[in-house]
Amino acid sequence: MRRLLWATQILVINEWMCGGWSDPTYRRELACLGYQGVMDLLYGGVLSRTVPEITRSVVLAWRGALTWTGWNRKHTLMTPLWVGTWLAHVAGLEGFAKWDHIGITLLGDIWGPSSLNSFEELQREFGLHRSQFFKYLQLRHALATYGLKRLEEFNPLEVKVLSGKMGRGGVSRLYKSLVIHTPDRFDCLREKWEGLVGDLEEEDWRDASMAHREMAISSRLRLLQWKIFHMAYRTPALLSKMYRGYEARCPKCSGAPADFFHLIWHCPVTQTFWAKVGRTLSGVCGRPIALTPRVGLLGLLFDVGGNRASRRFVGMATLLAKREIARYWMRPVSPSMSEWRAAMDWAAKTEEPIYLARGCPHKHSKIWGMWWDYFGLQSG
Ligand SMILES: [Zn+2]
């Protein structure tokens, strides 16, 4: 389970690196860190309290994956010089802002086939001024403490994730390389889902495991879908096994045992909510939208038909419905339709500047236009 979490969260890093910075959602989440701040955290910097929770979980996943694959604190040509703690003696040096400024940022920028490049070589390559010779000696001295030799090996995680160019194929390669160690648990998860939704084709299962990426722009919502997919929620049924005397009954309908599927789907109170959401969506789309567990929970949106924009709309609507259910997870109240509608309005407004920034506002109106038409709202 942990490896799956890592793979999914590490994908977020790739998006930070490949333009996630221009995306307002990420920009908000990472505003207090900056690019250097992120690199510092990825390479061992202290996770202070001011680091947003979502960033923290991504960083911890990255560190966990490095340890798991045996690459933690192994220096490569991609190890950053001035931030992080992998080269703490170097990062602690003062007065190297100029070096950073002219493009000397990674170990690979100054390291030759088996040793530090000479000062003359650095002068040639980066136009380093001769007044920096003393700094060069300082740097050489600091590096000597690490006993570095040949650094020809590239850590595949670094290369894939930090390059920011991980395409669709790259994503599944990373996913596979981390998942391969836990095939049994993954099969077990699939069996559980098949118990609810019936047999899943190989392609359906793969789509379901990646659905979080298709459904939302916000990484917060993506993590929500990831948690649903992995059933990563406490339930009365689970707690009653852990603590003697804990009631396995559902806090909403008093039915027992209240396991994950009961709370997210079967509970009569939750079913009423899902039915109302389904009716609203059918009204908005002007055609029947069948909210099966495949669509509503696993995000297998091809089931609902329609074009890409309307699938995206249904995906977002079900995601926000799940968020409402999660908010009232083990509480004796029903998820609220009015809060779901408010969340939909909020999502429509929040996504507008994102599509605008990406130069495709027409996509936004394709996705959200019907919603605004139906409820008579204006985009302003
Ligand atoms: Zn119930």
Which of the given ranges, 100-114, 150-164, 260-274, has the highest pLDDT on average? 260-274
Rounded distance between C-alpha atoms, residue 369 and residue 362, angstroms:
10
For 47-97, the pLDDT digits (tens) are 888 777 777 888 888 888 887 777 888 888 889 999 999 999 999 899 998
Rounded distance between C-alpha atoms, residue 253 and residue 243, angstroms:
21
pLDDT reported for residue 193 = 93
Rounded distance between C-alpha atoms, residue 147 and residue 156, angstroms:
23
Where residue 182 falls among pLDDT bands split at 50, 70, 90? Answer: very low
Ligand 1 center to 331 CA (angstroms): 10
Burial state string for 241-261 with b = 16 or more CB within 10 A and e = fewer than 16: eeeeeeebebbbbeeeebbbb
Cis upstream peptide for 183 (omega within 30°): no
Rounded distance between C-alpha atoms, residue 113 and residue 149, angstroms:
9
Helix axes 219-229, 202-215, angle to 10 degrees: 150
Ligand 1 center to 296 CA (angstroms): 18
Ligand 1 center to 347 CA (angstroms): 28
Ligand 1 center to 277 CA (angstroms): 18
Return the closest-CA partner of residue 232 out of 300, 301, 326. 326
List the Cα angle 15/4/65 in 5-degree steps. Answer: 70
Ligand 1 center to 328 CA (angstroms): 12
The per-residue pLDDT of the chain, averaged, comes to 84
Helix axes 361-375, 308-327, angle to 10 degrees: 60
